[in-house]
Amino acid sequence: MTPEQQQSTLVTSGRSRTAPLQEHIDRAIEDLLASFPEPDQLAPDERRGIIARYTVVLEGNFIYWMTAAYLSGASGEAHSIIQDNLLEEVRDNHPGMLRKFAIAAHAVPTDSDALAVYRNLHNVRLFVGRLAGPKIVLMMAFFEGFITRFMPYLAELARRQGSAEYEYTDVHGVCDVVHTQELFRAVDAELTLMPAPLPPATELLEGVGLLRTLIENIVHHS
């Protein structure tokens, strides 16, 4: 086998190993969305709380967690994909966009909103601090995938709060579809570099599980 053929076999087997992980993540997103209450069933303060807790989790953490994915990634491909993502986040001021969204929906986070997600947010931060390469990239692929699918729901909550500010939800409903696919490509590249045998899927999906719990906390807190 030539080195090129060897490389291509590695890449192919990496992809086939990524497919079950991607299926797990797609299912997790479907399950989350299906569990959310209909916006018209929510009281105004419940709608406000979901937007506020979402803002607590995303505004100050998304870029930091994506940076951790960059720092812990080992492959050139993952680095270049994550760098493009970070560049867009910083250059287009996504945290500022989210803050504007929360202000317009009268859902600026309070102390109690921050406290409501504190423990689950802390657990994700501890995980991120371990800088475990492919696991963080997987978690961010899940995050991007979830965010894209969540945007119509979030926009509907804001509309019912009397807001007409949709830049954040419009931008993230579109660009994150591309970002999610790119991040799965980054996962492929990271898995390809890992020595065989790969850890079991349950171990690779550790960060996905912690983030899923945090997202449930954003929506279902009462």
Residues engaged in binding Fe ion (CB under 5 A) = 89, 94
User: Measured from the CB of residue 56, what is the shortest distance to Fe ion in angstroms?
Assistant: 15
Instruction: Indicate the residue among 18 and 142 with the shorter CB distance to Fe ion.
Output: 142
User: Measured from the CB of residue 191, what is the shortest distance to Fe ion in angstroms?
Assistant: 25
User: Measured from the CB of residue 115, what is the shortest distance to Fe ion in angstroms?
Assistant: 25
Q: What's the CA angle centered on 9, arms 1 and 4, to 5 degrees?
A: 50
**Maximum alpha-carbon separation in the chain:** 64
Instruction: Indicate the residue among 94 and 212 with the shorter CB distance to Fe ion.
Output: 94
- In the bound complex, which residue of the shown chain has the CB atom lying closest to Fe ion? 94
- Using CA atoms in the order 2, 76, 131, 176, what is the torsion angle rounded to 10 degrees? -120
Instruction: Indicate the residue among 14 and 145 with the shorter CB distance to Fe ion.
Output: 145
Instruction: Indicate the residue among 18 and 180 with the shorter CB distance to Fe ion.
Output: 180
Burial 156-190 (b: 16+ CB within 10 A, else e): ebbbebebebbebbebbbebbeebbebbbbbbbbb
User: Measured from the CB of residue 199, what is the shortest distance to Fe ion in angstroms?
Assistant: 29
